[in-house]
Structures are given as structure tokens and as C-alpha cells.
Amino acid sequence: MGAAPASRDVTSYGMGLAAPLALFFLVFFVAPLLQLLWLSLHNDTAGLHWGLGQYLHFLSDPFSLSVLGSTLLLGAEVTAVCLVLGFPIAWLYQRVGPRLQTIIILIVLLPLLTSVVVRTFAWIVILGRQGIINATLQSLGIIDTPLKLLYTQFGVVIALAQVQMPLMTLPLITALGRIDPNLDDASCSLGAGSWRTFFRVVLPLSLPGVIAGCTLTYAAAITAFITQSLIGGGQMLFMPMYLYQQASTLQNWPFASAISIIFLLAVLAVVSVFTTLGRLSRGYGGA
């Protein structure tokens, strides 16, 4: 009887298997990024003078900094709303029967099967002066004149939260599903109440899902060009639209490239914070 063959280390496979993906990555991600960086290092639109003028222009311009700050704040607000609304949905999913689980997961996934443009136009109808919300409030006698919900920060946050909600809910469902339900019973049998069990047992163990959901939702919310543009209208300006105006309308490609690089670095900084928190939460949850 021969000896069983030893399992092969995955790192011993030939690098040629990864060559197609590496080539695709170099051509469609690294090369455009390098070209973007090269364009941003020109002080004029003709590309004759090198320098850091575009970066200095952005960092010394209060208007540009306010647009960047508004965009990052918008992502934080959308992420907070998705977390507050998505956690109860994920928690409920783990505590109902298979039939209700099917209904809940269908409700969560259904928006992903619909175009973002269609969902955004639906929110225009809902938030409009003659929309469902204003019509309902007026019919109940709560308000006399329609509220301004469209083209406001509130409207953008609500619409983006609905569009990005699956990105928050699905990681939470996965994280909560990995928690042993006997831990809840053990905590309650030791005298802890429901809220104490939630904050001392459920929430710490679900932190990896919370961090993953926050990362996905934040990155998707601050780059959601269509929803930001249609719901915000011309009265609100965020980084994707600011970049589009500089590149397509004003044809100022060096400044647009500098905006892209700065926006990319800002997003990477935020994602790095989420990644660090996720690494710490894995250690905390496993303690």
C-alpha cells in the first residue's frame, strides 16, 4: 500500500497561471492610473509645464476642499443609515424560519436586479413636491405646503441608502449566521438581559460583518455618480460631478486628473481605517 501523496503548497504552482489576470490588471488599471498621474503633474492644459500646480490649486481652494469634505461626509451618513436599518434586517433573518428567510433575502436582493437609474428615478417620484410622501402628509393634514425633499442632502442620503442597502445587509447576514445561537442562551442563563447580551456578545462577534458592510457601502456611496447627480440636482456638488465638470465641460484634464488622484487617496485612507478596524475586530471577536 503506497503512501498518500503529500498536498502541494499553493505557492509552488507556476506563476504563469496568474499571468492573464496580472496582464489584465496592468493594462486596465495600472496603466490608466499612471496616465492619470502623468496628466496631473502638468500645470497647464497644453501639457508643456511640469509641476504640482494642480494639487496646490486644489488644496488651497476652499471650494474644492468643501466639495471633498461634503462627499466624504455623505458617505459617512449613508453608511450610518444603512447600518442602523440593515442590522435589524440581518438579525431578523437569522431568527425566522426558512420561508420567511426566503422572503427577506428576496427583498434584500431584489434591488440588485433593478437598474440604479430606474431606482433613482423612482426616488425622484417619491420625493417630489407631488410625490408619495408629500401627498400622504397633506392628506393626513400634517403639512399644508409640500416639503422640499428633492435636491436636498436628506433626499440624497435616503436614496443612496436604499440603493446601497444590499451591500450592508448581506455581510451582516453572513456574520450573524456564524455566531453560535447557544451563546445567546448561555448569556441569558447567566443573568444577562437582552440588551446586555446584544452589546456584550452579538455585536462584538458581528464586527467583521459590520466592518465589511461599512467598507462596501462607503466606497459605493461616495462614487455613486448617477444618484448623487439626479437626486442632488444642480444645487449639490460632490466629487464625481466635480470631476465630470472639469474633465468634460471645462476640458481641464490636468486639474481633473489631480482631483481623481486626491479623491482616490482620500478614499484609500478611509478604507484603510475600515480595514484596520476589521483586523482589530477579528482579534476582539475571537477573544
Per-residue confidence in pLDDT tens, the chain, 287 aa: 444 555 556 556 667 778 888 899 899 989 999 999 999 998 887 777 888 889 999 999 999 999 999 999 999 999 999 999 999 999 999 889 889 999 999 988 888 888 888 888 888 888 888 888 888 888 888 888 888 888 889 999 999 999 899 999 999 999 999 888 888 778 877 877 888 888 888 888 888 889 989 999 999 999 888 888 888 877 788 999 999 999 988 888 999 999 999 999 998 998 888 888 877 766 655 44
**Residues 244, 253 contacting (CB under 8 angstroms):** no
Please state the pTM of the whole predicted model: 0.84
How would you class 118 by CB atoms within 10 Å of its CB: exposed for 0-12, middle for 13-18, buried for 19 or more? exposed
CA pair distance 127, 150, nearest whole angstrom: 5
Q: Round to whole Å and give the CA distance between 268 and 271.
A: 5
Domains and CATH numbers, the chain: 64-283 (1.10.3720.10)
Q: Rounded to whole angstroms, how far apart are CA atoms 92 and 110? A: 18
For 212, what's the count of Cα atoms within 13 Å in the CB-facing half-sphere?
15
Around 137, how many Cα atoms within 13 Å sit in the side-chain half-sphere? 16
The b-or-e profile of 48-76 (16+ CB within 10 A means b, else e) is eeeeebbbeebeeeeebeebbebbbebbe
